[in-house]
Chains A and B, each alone.
Chain A
Amino acid sequence: MTPVTLLTGFLGAGKTALLSRLLRWPDLRDTAVLINEFGEVGLDHLLVEPLQGEVALLRGGCVCCSIRGDLKAALIDLHDRRRRGLVPDFRRVVIETTGLADPGPAVATLVADPVLRHAFAVGAIVTVVDAVNGARTLDTHEEAVRQAACADRLVLSKTDLATPEAAASLRARLAALNPMAPVTDLALDDAPEAALLTDDPTGAASARRWLCTEIPAPHGTVGAVLIESGPVDWTRFGLWLGMLLNRHGTRILRLKGLVAVEGAETPVVIQGVQHLVHPPRHLPAWPEGEARTRLVLIGHGLDGDVLRRSYGAFTGAPDVPGPSAPPARAAADR
């Protein structure tokens, strides 16, 4: 299965600049790149033209294509050409979406299409946010909020052009909007880490991070809700989540979690974008500590108390033990 990374970010955030710098890493040369054009003038495509020169199968074997039809056709074509040896073998695909793109449909194509899902797997969603204009863009464009909320990794670009205060404020806002996504600063002269394209967003390292991430109170209407419990019956959990996404999927932008399934010794990683849930997968072992379910939902106007109560009523899963219960002797001494 070839992982597909979605590189998103609002117009002018610096997606193409990030991509061209990433592809200089020798380890990332075996990356196929699909570029999504916007409007009649393919600005993104023109900007990325130098990549095609570099990719020209001489210096590393990257493959650049432009998505002129739909994503499915482009991926199938790429897969077919690789199979026939018409393009060099590649180990990953990066799709640079348009600045106005909602990542949901691209994820839907990858998760749901019966042909694609046997050849490609959803990789990370990497969202670039411009440190200079990002706050204003988040204020005024719903697409930008969706892109940040859906991300597995956030890249704060142009930090050399923003004041430290503005960058810090935006970083805090992004942490409240999507606490599960690490934020990487990227100034003009920084070399972006190759891990942006190679990390497994549902692997053990990511899961370890999820378990210890604090979920701050939401700033504004979009925010994160944490649901925790002991082991849960998988069927009841699936019914609850399916029902929730059927009715509220348009305002649940992202969900991520580790599920402790009754009768299973290892955790199940679950994640989704809007209505779509990726195929769940088992991790080989619990990253650390006790087995407990930890689910984070990011969305518009989510009421954490109602969600937690609903989860409890539907699944009957036991609460996790509270951290501050006093020891028995201390209670008896009073």
Chain B
Amino acid sequence: MCSLCGAFGAPDHWSDGLARTVPPEAERRARATAANRVLGLYGLRLAAWGGRYTLSGRTGRSAVIDHLGALWPAAERLSGRSCDPLDPATIAALEAR
């Protein structure tokens, strides 16, 4: 159970709650692309995989995650860093892109 994402082993997340306009797998790929814009700052990469996602680091460590609610705790585990959207360096890096 993940108390952060509001899912007790459920395969969805609150951000899945809106009506889909594209097939689920295409949507997962689009989400992974959007997430990679941020995850790259931590040396991580997300890929859609069989109805789920895989999150990988540069050293080969990886994790399977069910939905984006589980993304950030896994990203912090794999990178060993705090993934803080209020960190000035993170904000500046995104603004520079």
Q: Which residues on the B side are within 8 Å of A276 (C-beta)?
A: 3, 6
Cα A98 to Cα B44 with chains together (Å): 44
Task: Give residues of chain B (55-97) contacting chain A, Cβ–Cβ below 8 Å.
Answer: 68-69, 71-73, 76, 82-86, 88, 90-92, 94-95
Q: Which residues on the B side are within 8 Å of A309 (C-beta)?
A: 91, 95
CB pair A246–B95 under 8 Å, yes or no, is: no
Q: Which residues on the A side are within 8 Å of B38 (C-beta)?
A: 239, 243, 314
* A235/B31 contact (C-beta < 8 A), A242-B69, A314-B38 known: yes
Q: Chain A at the B interface: mostly helix, strand, loop or mixed?
A: helix
How far does the Cβ of B27 sit from chain A's closest Cβ, in whole Å? 8
How far does the Cβ of B45 sit from chain A's closest Cβ, in whole Å? 14
**Identity of the chain B residue whose Cβ is nearest the Cβ of A309 in the assembled complex:** B91
Interface membership of chain A positions 230-257, coded 1 if the CB is closer than 8 angstroms to chain B and 0 otherwise:
0001111111111111111100000000
Q: Which residues on the B side are within 8 Å of A237 (C-beta)?
A: 15
CB pair B4–A275 under 8 Å, yes or no, is: yes
Cα A239 to Cα B41 with chains together (Å): 14
Cα A124 to Cα B1 with chains together (Å): 25
* A242/B3 contact (C-beta < 8 A), A234-B15, A247-B83, A247-B85 known: no
> How many residues on the B side are at the interface (Cβ–Cβ under 8 A)?
38
CB pair A239–B34 under 8 Å, yes or no, is: yes
Q: Is A24 an interface residue (CB 8 A)?
A: no
Which of A114, A244, A278 contacts B86, CB < 8 Å? A244
CB pair B15–A114 under 8 Å, yes or no, is: no
CB pair A240–B85 under 8 Å, yes or no, is: yes
CB pair B30–A275 under 8 Å, yes or no, is: no
CB pair A242–B15 under 8 Å, yes or no, is: yes
Q: Which residues on the B side are within 8 Å of A279 (C-beta)?
A: 14, 17
Cα A108 to Cα B1 with chains together (Å): 12
How far does the Cβ of B7 sit from chain A's closest Cβ, in whole Å? 6
Q: Which residues on the B side are within 8 Å of A18 (C-beta)?
A: none
Q: Is A319 an interface residue (CB 8 A)?
A: no
**Identity of the chain A residue whose Cβ is nearest the Cβ of B2 in the assembled complex:** A112
**Identity of the chain A residue whose Cβ is nearest the Cβ of B91 in the assembled complex:** A313
Cα A249 to Cα B83 with chains together (Å): 13
Most interface-central of A246, A261, A280 (chain B CB within 10 A)? A246
CB pair A238–B82 under 8 Å, yes or no, is: no
Cα A241 to Cα B6 with chains together (Å): 13
Cα A114 to Cα B31 with chains together (Å): 24
Q: Is A129 an interface residue (CB 8 A)?
A: no
Q: Is B5 an interface residue (CB 8 A)?
A: yes
CB pair A242–B71 under 8 Å, yes or no, is: yes
Q: Is A34 an interface residue (CB 8 A)?
A: no
Most interface-central of A238, A244, A264, A310 (chain B CB within 10 A)? A238
Q: Which residues on the B side are within 8 Å of A303 (C-beta)?
A: 86
Cα A278 to Cα B5 with chains together (Å): 10
Cα A184 to Cα B5 with chains together (Å): 33
* A268/B18 contact (C-beta < 8 A), A243-B38, A243-B83, A247-B85 known: yes
CB pair B85–A234 under 8 Å, yes or no, is: no
Q: List 25 A-B contacts (CB under 8 A).
A: A108-B3, A112-B10, A114-B8, A238-B14, A239-B71, A241-B15, A242-B15, A242-B68, A243-B83, A243-B85, A246-B83, A247-B83, A248-B84, A249-B4, A275-B4, A276-B6, A277-B6, A280-B15, A280-B17, A306-B86, A306-B91, A309-B91, A310-B90, A313-B94, A314-B38
Given contacts A276-B6, A282-B18, A313-B90, 10 further A-B contacts (CB under 8 A): A112-B3, A112-B10, A113-B8, A114-B8, A239-B68, A242-B5, A246-B72, A276-B3, A278-B14, A313-B94
Interface residues of B (CB under 8 A from A): 1, 3-10, 13-15, 17-19, 21, 30-31, 34-35, 38, 68-69, 71-73, 76, 82-86, 88, 90-92, 94-95
